[in-house]
Chain A
C-alpha cells in the first residue's frame, strides 16, 4: 500500500500586516504615554475659562486630580484630601534621592513648592476650601529655607479653554 506523505506547510511572516500592526501600536502608545507622563486624568471634567496661559508643569510641581474631598488622586494613587499632607511631605522628602538638584534649589529658596489643582467642575466650594486648608497646613519647612511659611503658598488652577 502506498502511504501518502503529509504535506508540511512552511510558515512565513507576512511583512505588510506586521508593519500595519506595529504602526497602530506605536500611535497608541505615543498618544497615551504623553498623558500618563503628565499625571493628568482625562476622565476629569475641568471647568471652563477664557483667561490663562498654556499648561506647563514645573519640575517642583505636583498634580492633584480632585473630584471631591473624598476622591483625590495623585499620580494614579487614590486618596482623601485629609491624606494629602502625608503624601505631599513624602514627595518632597523623596526629592533628595530622586532629584537632588531640585531638593537643593528648594532648600536655597530658588524654587517654591507648588501644586497644580485639576478640579472637577462639579466639585463644590466646600471641597476646594478643604483642599486649600490642607495645603496651608502641610508643613514643609524642613525642605525649605529657614523662616519660610509652613504651608504650600502657590497653587495653579487648571481649566479648559472655552471652545
Chain B
C-alpha cells in the first residue's frame, strides 16, 4: 500500500498586517503617554482677606505664609523652601477645638508654582482652611520725579 505523505505548511510572517498593528499600537501609546501625568485637584474655600472685606466677616488669623518664590516662603517670620515648608506645616495640626487658618499672600511677581507649592504643603498637613490675601487692586504708580526748579 502506498502511504500518502502529509503536506506540511510552512509558517510565514505576514508583513503588511504586522506593520498595521505596530502603527496602531504606536499611535495608541503616543497619544496616551503625553497625558500620563495625572491631574490633581486641591479644593479651597475662597475667603479673601482684604481691607475692603465686608464688616462682620471674622477669620482666625493663625498662620500667614508670605510666598516670595519657591525657595523663600516666610511662615510667621521664618524662611523655608518648599521642602522645608512641608515639614514645618506638619507641626501645625487642626483640632476641632483649635482650628488653624492659613493665609497665603504673595508678591506681584511671585510664581504661581510657588503659590501652589505653599497650598500643597497645607494640603499635605491636612490644613484645609486656606484663604488668600489679594494684592491691592491697582499697584500704585511710581511717583513722577519732581521737575527740576528753574535756575
Cβ of B27 within 8 Å of any chain A Cβ, yes or no, is yes
- What 0/1 pattern do residues 110 to 125 of A give for CB contact below 8 A with B? 0000001001111111
- What 0/1 pattern do residues 126 to 163 of A give for CB contact below 8 A with B? 11110011011000000000000001111111111101
**Quick one: which of B20, B27, B119 contacts A157, CB cutoff 8 A?**
B119
Known interface pairs A125-B107, A132-B132, A157-B41; A47-B116 also in contact (CB < 8 Å): yes
| Prevailing SS type, chain A contact patch | mixed
B42 and A50: CB pair below 8 A? no
Cβ of A20 within 8 Å of any chain B Cβ, yes or no, is yes
Distance of A24 Cα from B123 Cα, bound (Å): 42
Distance of A1 Cα from B7 Cα, bound (Å): 54
B117 and A49: CB pair below 8 A? yes
The size of the chain B interface, using a CB distance under 8 A, is 45
B32 and A31: CB pair below 8 A? yes
Cβ distance A133 to chain B, nearest Cβ, rounded Å? 5
| Prevailing SS type, chain B contact patch | mixed
The size of the chain A interface, using a CB distance under 8 A, is 49
B120 and A55: CB pair below 8 A? no
**Quick one: which of B31, B110, B119, B135 contacts A49, CB cutoff 8 A?**
B119
Distance of A27 Cα from B27 Cα, bound (Å): 8
**Quick one: which of B31, B38, B112, B117 contacts A122, CB cutoff 8 A?**
B112
- Chain B residues with CB under 8 Å of chain A are 16-17, 20, 23-24, 27-28, 31-32, 34-35, 37-48, 67, 86, 106-113, 115-117, 119-120, 123-124, 132, 134-135, 137, 139
**Which 5 interchain pairs have the tightest Cβ spacing?**
A52-B40, A125-B106, A51-B123, A47-B116, A49-B120
